[in-house]
Chain A
Amino acid sequence: MRAVAASRSLRSRKLKAMVSHALFATATLTGIIVLATLLVRVFMEGLPQLDWGFINSFPSRLPSRAGILSPLMGTLWVMAFTALFSFPLGLATALYLEQYAPQNKITAIIQTNISNLAGVPSIVYGILGLTVFVRWFSLDRSVLAGALTMTILILPITIIASREALRSVPSSLTTASYALGATQWQTVRRVVLPYAFPGILTGTILSMSRAIGETAPLLMMGALTFVAFVPGSDGLARAPLDPFTVLPIQIFNWASRPQSEFQDLAATGIVVLLVVLLVMNAGAILLRDRFQRKIQD
């Protein structure tokens, strides 16, 4: 009797183990299946309209003539300035926290503050941008205001990525540098930075790719949804102060219209956006690999 009961409970335990294994595997696959469905659908709907005319035309009220030139250029302009601001700022903060910061209250405040900022909803950054950059700094709805808002938005991610890269520098290298009589700044500049550079660059590019897809903050700031104008076409020097729109805003604009032609255009816009993201991520990975090989040589 007892042997039967024991074997039955063993069988049920084994069954449970098998069922749960299948469930956990299914859970993992669910996300992947949704991702595949989403991509297939977007590409099926979007690819037919994708041609040079689409890339090279302005948005229009007529779906057949609408293109994505101004949002695409707007995205590139905003991202260029965002990179310009966020790279040094993120790196400097990371350097301070990793190399210089004393263990005191101020450091603790800065650290908690950064991790809290990472959790602030992006739309709140939009309100910050609207109030501080658009109104107080009177930058209006310009490329510069958009780039500053994006810089602040991705700053926590940039800092965290740069810190990780700096932490990967072996202490044997820094110790050796100090042993040769180098000062702290010399060590940072000649040893730490060159070694960590690929990691920092990759981290920056990845956080930029987060910014490229952000819609809400720029929508909040009033980045116009209909712009038949490329920043810099009145002279490159004026570009930072020109009005702009970006890819995700144009996609949002098309997606929120009921006509199916516009929905198709939204899908085409998404294809362009995803290609831009793919190029950036691939670029980040290539850069990292190239630099890594150089250091190992």
Chain B
Amino acid sequence: MTMRPPGDALDSGPGPRRALSRRKAGRRLEERLVPNLLLLAALVSVITTVGIVVSLMTEAVAFFREVSLLDFFGDTKWTPKFADQHFGIWPLVAGTLLVTAIAAAVALPIGLGAAIFLSEYAASRLRRVLKPVLEILAGIPTVVYGFFALTFITPTILRNLPGPFVDTSIFNALSAGLVVGIMIVPMVASLSEDAMMAVPTSLRQGAYALGATRFEVARRVVVPAAFSGIVASFVLAISRAIGETMIVTLAAGASPKLTANPLESVQTMTAYIVQVSMGETPFGSIEYKTIFAVAMVLFVITLAMNIFGQWLVRRIRESY
């Protein structure tokens, strides 16, 4: 290829040679064309990000022309559908955080425990069975989880518990949070396990040689060594919980309020967006624009958490 004669010398040759050179030219064209076409496809994902930001921004900017940032972040009431309109984002943020906190309280210990079990205790045969089963948990559609929270966790479990649970409202943050937690367990477990598997065996062997028990090896050697990976799994899973929509729409309710009581109905940012988009909200109205402002907040929070989580993952990859 590099010995190619200059100019069109080849093309002036007799028949078969010309065909050969034409094929070569076609091949050369292909070699130049293909990477560019593929790059074009790769750019679709970049365009998607631009599309997300632009589609959120246009309406969000329109929203903030009518509602000041001070009201948005300063007011503590969210009542866009009432005559007395208030646009304080905090009730929706509080609802989201309440559900997320419950989910984290479920998923972090269970996920971490499962990861330690899979990486330090389970024989490889057992692990080969357990891991796919846990992955099924991640593959169940969220609307199914929402149905489970609404029709089983709340009526059959929570309401049959003693004490204050008797008055649990049909829609409540607790059942939604518990189920969101179960949903993100596989994420915590598999990302944490990846981090633990990356810890060199020599470190474990050193500790065992000193007479440490399995638990001591896990607690004093493996978990500290995999720490940033474990934190990354927490951050990414919590970000997933914040963005979860169907479970909270079905089970947590539609009453935006500032409360820390998990047995009450609340509303998350995602559930609000669904509620408005399902109603007969005229395009261009202030209520329609609110979903873009809320989605913007959601997008910024989850993006920040994801960037942080990925930075942590990259750090462990570099350290071993």
Q: Do A and B come from one complex?
A: yes
Interface residue stretch chosen among A49-57, A115-123, A169-177 = A115-123
A14 neighbours in B (Cβ, 8 Å): 213
Q: Which of B121, B147, B270 contacts A251 (CB under 8 A)?
A: B147
- B239 and A119 contact, CB distance less than 8 A: yes
Find the A residue at minimum CB distance from B114.
A28
Q: Does A145 contact B (CB under 8 A)?
A: no
- A35 and B213 contact, CB distance less than 8 A: no
B134 neighbours in A (Cβ, 8 Å): 28, 31-32
Q: Which of B236, B243, B250 contacts A255 (CB under 8 A)?
A: B250
B218 neighbours in A (Cβ, 8 Å): 20
- A155 and B274 contact, CB distance less than 8 A: no
B85 vs chain A, min Cβ distance (A): 22
Find the A residue at minimum CB distance from B310.
A115
Q: Does B13 contact A (CB under 8 A)?
A: no
B187-245 interface (Cβ within 8 A of A): 189, 213-216, 218-219, 236, 239-240, 242-245
Given the known A-B contacts A17-B214, A35-B137, A100-B38, are A110 and B45 also in contact in the complex, defined by CB atoms under 8 Å? Answer: yes
Q: Does B72 contact A (CB under 8 A)?
A: no
The number of residues on chain A lying at the interface, defined by a beta carbon within 8 Å of a beta carbon of chain B, is: 86
Q: A16 to B46, alpha carbons, bound, how many Å? A: 51
Q: Identify which of A28, A112, A152, A210 gathers the most chain B CB atoms within 10 Å of its CB.
A: A28
Q: A156 to B307, alpha carbons, bound, how many Å? A: 15
B257 vs chain A, min Cβ distance (A): 20
A116 neighbours in B (Cβ, 8 Å): 49, 303, 306-307, 310
Q: Which of A119, A130, A251 contacts B144 (CB under 8 A)?
A: A251
- B121 and A92 contact, CB distance less than 8 A: no
B78-100 interface (Cβ within 8 A of A): none
Q: Which of B31, B137, B273 contacts A123 (CB under 8 A)?
A: B273
A79 vs chain B, min Cβ distance (A): 13
Q: Does B298 contact A (CB under 8 A)?
A: yes
A28 neighbours in B (Cβ, 8 Å): 113-114, 117-118, 122, 130, 134, 189
A-B residue pair count with CB separations less than 8 angstroms = 255
The number of residues on chain B lying at the interface, defined by a beta carbon within 8 Å of a beta carbon of chain A, is: 91
A267-289 interface (Cβ within 8 A of B): 267, 270, 273-274, 277, 281
A138 neighbours in B (Cβ, 8 Å): none
Interface residue stretch chosen among B4-12, B51-59, B63-71, B160-168 = B51-59
- B216 and A13 contact, CB distance less than 8 A: yes
- A274 and B144 contact, CB distance less than 8 A: yes
Q: A220 to B278, alpha carbons, bound, how many Å? A: 7
Q: Does B48 contact A (CB under 8 A)?
A: yes
Q: Does B123 contact A (CB under 8 A)?
A: no
A107 vs chain B, min Cβ distance (A): 9
- B146 and A252 contact, CB distance less than 8 A: yes
Q: Does B302 contact A (CB under 8 A)?
A: yes
Q: Does B110 contact A (CB under 8 A)?
A: yes
A220 neighbours in B (Cβ, 8 Å): 273-274, 277
A152-196 interface (Cβ within 8 A of B): 152, 155-156, 159, 183-186, 188
Find the A residue at minimum CB distance from B113.
A27
Q: Does A41 contact B (CB under 8 A)?
A: yes
- A252 and B49 contact, CB distance less than 8 A: no
A128 vs chain B, min Cβ distance (A): 5
Q: Identify which of A93, A123, A215, A274 gathers the most chain B CB atoms within 10 Å of its CB.
A: A123
B225 vs chain A, min Cβ distance (A): 17
Q: Does B44 contact A (CB under 8 A)?
A: yes
B237 vs chain A, min Cβ distance (A): 11
Find the B residue at minimum CB distance from A153.
B48
- A121 and B243 contact, CB distance less than 8 A: yes
- B274 and A216 contact, CB distance less than 8 A: yes
Q: A6 to B139, alpha carbons, bound, how many Å? A: 49
Q: Does B182 contact A (CB under 8 A)?
A: yes
Given the known A-B contacts A17-B216, A109-B46, A220-B273, are A31 and B137 also in contact in the complex, defined by CB atoms under 8 Å? Answer: yes
B267 vs chain A, min Cβ distance (A): 14
B43 vs chain A, min Cβ distance (A): 7
Q: A274 to B140, alpha carbons, bound, how many Å? A: 8
B101-152 interface (Cβ within 8 A of A): 109-114, 116-118, 120-122, 130, 133-134, 136-137, 139-148, 150-152
Find the A residue at minimum CB distance from B156.
A41
Q: Which of B43, B110, B141, B239 contacts A214 (CB under 8 A)?
A: B141
- A100 and B35 contact, CB distance less than 8 A: yes
Find the B residue at minimum CB distance from A209.
B139
Given the known A-B contacts A27-B114, A185-B34, are A213 and B144 also in contact in the complex, defined by CB atoms under 8 Å? Answer: yes
A123 vs chain B, min Cβ distance (A): 5
Q: A193 to B60, alpha carbons, bound, how many Å? A: 44
Known contacts A117-B48, A119-B305; 10 additional CB pairs below 8 A are A14-B213, A28-B117, A32-B133, A45-B151, A120-B302, A121-B244, A124-B52, A127-B295, A252-B249, A263-B147
CB-based closest 6 A-B pairs: A121-B243, A213-B141, A27-B113, A92-B41, A119-B306, A131-B55
B residues adjacent to A (C-beta < 8 A): 27, 30-31, 34-35, 37-46, 48-49, 51-52, 55-56, 58-59, 109-114, 116-118, 120-122, 130, 133-134, 136-137, 139-148, 150-152, 182, 185-186, 189, 213-216, 218-219, 236, 239-240, 242-246, 249-250, 270, 273-274, 277-278, 283, 291-292, 295, 298-299, 302-303, 305-307, 309-310
